[in-house]
Chain A
């Protein structure tokens, strides 16, 4: 087989670790290589491509998902270390065809431009509201610092998060 120009798996890569991954309420049984990150598993194995790969180093927040209801970077977690805890992705927050209030707030406040960071921003914002902090603009800015928006939609993101928190903008 001609692998020229393609990425070749390391010779000793083995997809021999069986895990249960519960994502958005559905449990999937997967055989993974130990190196598979939660982000890899979501995107490449479960084809849930709403969760984005940005830096792959935990620095941009595009891969933010909820684990046990708390926001984390899916790129910094090996799938084998998830250990059965429930994962929620951007695909799992709308209910019965209705957008999640945070999604609605992002739409209403025009809280994005290119949209690439948006799933991570929304998941992070949902995680933030679960942390029961103050929802003034300064607190939101500080506690959304794990999500970078290179289009610079920050002011509208803050307005959207405040609106979803019920404080108005």
Chain B
């Protein structure tokens, strides 16, 4: 680990001031991804600003929606009775995230900003356009089993690894961010960038912006939602493919559908065509199979990850059946 300086911010204003004063500073909260990145010299911030004392902790359910403080630990969100009642999709995705130890440490804000697990990004001894712009992308023709089949460019095919953001996208969530310029709201759907020419930028957050909360609007999908995560072992593993489904139903007919895939895109990937085909129709096993077949449209698989296309189709089918209570 390279040396860095450390300052604990007693309040938000100090955290933002410290961050504004050093372009090479990083915020640290739970630290579960940051410590891995530091240990493996993937990043080398000059200073860390500890934001753990800031008052962005806790879950508040109001009028069927929820406000989750960005410093709330993942385990506290997953175990929250209100989240389990109103947003079981989120609780389910979080319980399948990482390990119990990591969930006790990792925060909601930090989880949104976790970096990719691409093998080349995490290995500081090899080229990677995301880690070192312009150095090349060995994943394109290398070990790309875990990489993205949607959203990649000739510069980067790193997949977004998280479960929570995939569920949040299906729940139409927003985040609140603060900076020296004030406060703004961003849809989770608008948070992540495609790699295009600049894969070093994961998100549209400006330097120095701090996530303070996640906002979940009320919905009518709690009884018809499901998070399906497929991975190399039963627990404590990243998704090869995951699917978050949130359905609002009129008896047997789908009124509104959100279907989002994880592990397959350079960002959490909304399957709009699947959603459109579900809308206004009864959800049946045949329908689930047919719309599942649409899930691979537009995919650009590489040699090592072509298996994700059929896996995604059947995962969508399965998740829809589970969400609809049909199995």
Contacts and interface: CB of A to CB of B under 8 A. Distances in A.
A13 B3 contact: yes
Given A58-B35, A75-B35, A76-B32, A143 B102 contact: no
Given A73-B105, A127-B100, A142-B235, A81 B28 contact: yes
A131 B100 contact: yes
A34 B38 CA distance: 12
B102 A58 contact: yes
Secondary structure at the B interface, as helix, strand, loop or mixed, is mixed
A10 B1 CA distance: 9
B161 to A, nearest CB: 14
Nearest to B105: A72
A131 B225 CA distance: 25
Contact of B100 (A10, A76, A146): A146
A83 B52 contact: yes
Interface in B31-46: 31-32, 35-36, 38-40
B104 A71 contact: yes
Nearest to B51: A81
Interface stretch (B4-12, B142-150, B166-174, B291-299): B4-12
B53 A35 contact: no
Interface in A9-27: 10, 12-14, 17
A61 B235 CA distance: 14
B101 A81 contact: no
A130 to B, nearest CB: 11
B235 A145 contact: yes
A77 interface: yes
Nearest to B102: A58
Interface residues of B, number: 31
A14 B3 CA distance: 9
A17 B235 contact: no
A78 interface: yes
Interface residues of A, number: 37
B52 A64 contact: no
B85 interface: no
A142 B97 CA distance: 11
Interface string A110-138: 00000000000000100110010000000
A10 B101 CA distance: 30
B48 interface: yes
Contacts of A51: none
B326 interface: no
B1 A81 contact: no
A34 B36 contact: no
Interface in A59-95: 61, 64, 67, 70-73, 75-78, 80-81, 83
The 10 closest A-B pairs by CB, nearest first: A146-B99, A145-B235, A34-B6, A145-B236, A146-B101, A76-B35, A10-B3, A35-B1, A70-B104, A73-B101
25 contacts: A10-B2, A12-B3, A13-B3, A33-B3, A34-B4, A34-B5, A34-B6, A34-B48, A58-B32, A61-B99, A67-B104, A70-B75, A70-B104, A71-B104, A76-B35, A78-B6, A81-B28, A124-B101, A141-B235, A142-B235, A143-B100, A145-B99, A145-B100, A145-B236, A146-B236
Interface of A: 10, 12-14, 17, 33-35, 37, 56-58, 61, 64, 67, 70-73, 75-78, 80-81, 83, 124, 127-128, 131, 141-147
